[in-house]
């Protein structure tokens, strides 16, 4: 892994691979810089020099306590500044919020932007976060993950049972302790869509056609960002890069090409 120091003083790590124009990836919760992108990595690295950020508590990035979403966005902005050329920037879920906030810090360094279902902070309001905190306190990570996906993202139990039988479930549970800090940071985040009007880069707002649309800030961004369009992935929900990697990669690469 490669490393840099953010303006927040945090040590930030990232993987670099591939060849071509720079593409920065910001992973979501219950995943990391490897697992979020492992099925689309072969496609992306053929076209781009990929910088896959490991957010707080992943990879060799500092596992801080009490950090904010803005702190993590400064980590990403520091990486973008270090690249020295305009980048394509892609974020998923919580990572989409981090990517967008980073873009607002360095709008002149963003060539194109892809955001996949950044959730409304109200999804983890105090009354929703409290039972998850209780499960985390007793390290009941399986129940923690099941509760979040089913009760807060409306993933059917049948799909979760199927997911538990795949190799993807173990990394999800492994990331659960770091995800607690993501949820705390999202709970404290004051999302003001108007602050992102200066982000003028062409933006693709990805959604899963099967996702509950009201859970995410996609429509608010579509009405606010100067150059944004919505791209719906048919038959998919919140994890299109895992459930339909070929479709996902094709849509992303088509948009990100010059």
pLDDT in tens, 44-101: 999 999 999 999 999 999 999 999 999 999 999 999 999 999 999 999 999 999 999 9
pLDDT digits (tens, 9 = 90+) for 163-215: 999 999 999 999 999 999 999 999 999 999 999 999 999 999 999 999 999 99
Quote the pLDDT of residue 159. 87
Quote the pLDDT of residue 71. 98
**Model-level pTM greater than 0.85?**
yes
Whether residue 156 is predicted with pLDDT greater than 90 in this model: the reply is no
Whether residue 219 is predicted with pLDDT greater than 90 in this model: the reply is yes
Please state the CATH superfamily assignment of the domain spanning residues 2-120+190-256 in this structure. Alpha/Beta hydrolase fold, catalytic domain (3.40.50.1820)
Indicate the pLDDT class of residue 146, thresholds 50, 70 and 90: very high
Whether residue 31 is predicted with pLDDT greater than 90 in this model: the reply is yes
| CA gap 104, 81 in Å, rounded | 13
CB 134 within 8 A of CB 111: no
Long-range Cβ contacts of 104-107 (<8 Å, 24+ apart) = 104/73, 104/195, 104/196, 104/198, 104/199, 105/73, 105/74, 105/77, 106/77, 106/80, 106/81, 107/198, 107/199, 107/200, 107/201
Which of 227, 244, 149, 186 lies closest to 55 in space, CA to CA? 186
Tokens of 15: 């993987």
């Amino acid at each position: 892994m490669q490393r840099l120091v953010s303006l927040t003083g945090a040590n930030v790590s990232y993987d670099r691979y591939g060849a071509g124009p720079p593409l920065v990836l910001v992973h979501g919760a219950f995943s990391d810089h490897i697992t979020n992108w492992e099925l689309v990595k072969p496609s992306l690295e053929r076209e781009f020099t990929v910088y896959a950020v490991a957010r707080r508590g992943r990879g060799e990035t500092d596992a801080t306590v009490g950090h904010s979403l803005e702190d993590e966005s400064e980590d990403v902005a520091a990486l973008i500044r270090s690249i020295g050329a305009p980048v394509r920037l892609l974020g998923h879920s919580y990572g989409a919020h981090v990517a967008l906030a980073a873009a607002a810090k360095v709008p002149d360094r963003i060539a194109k932007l892809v955001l996949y279902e950044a959730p409304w902070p109200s999804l983890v309001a105090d009354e929703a976060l409290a039972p998850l905190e209780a499960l985390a306190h007793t390290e009941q990570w399986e129940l923690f993950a099941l509760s979040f996906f089913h009760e807060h993202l409306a993933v059917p139990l049948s799909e979760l049972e199927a997911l538990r039988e795949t190799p993807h479930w173990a990394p999800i549970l492994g990331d659960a302790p770091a995800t607690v800090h993501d949820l705390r940071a999202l709970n404290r985040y004051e999302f003001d869509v108007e602050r992102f009007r200066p982000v003028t880069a062409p933006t693709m707002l990805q959604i899963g056609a099967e996702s509950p649309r009201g859970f995410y800030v996609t429509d608010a961004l579509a009405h606010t960002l100067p150059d944004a369009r919505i791209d719906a992935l048919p038959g998919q929900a919140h994890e299109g890069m895992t459930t339909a990697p070929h479709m996902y990669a094709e849509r992303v690469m088509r948009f990100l090409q010059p």
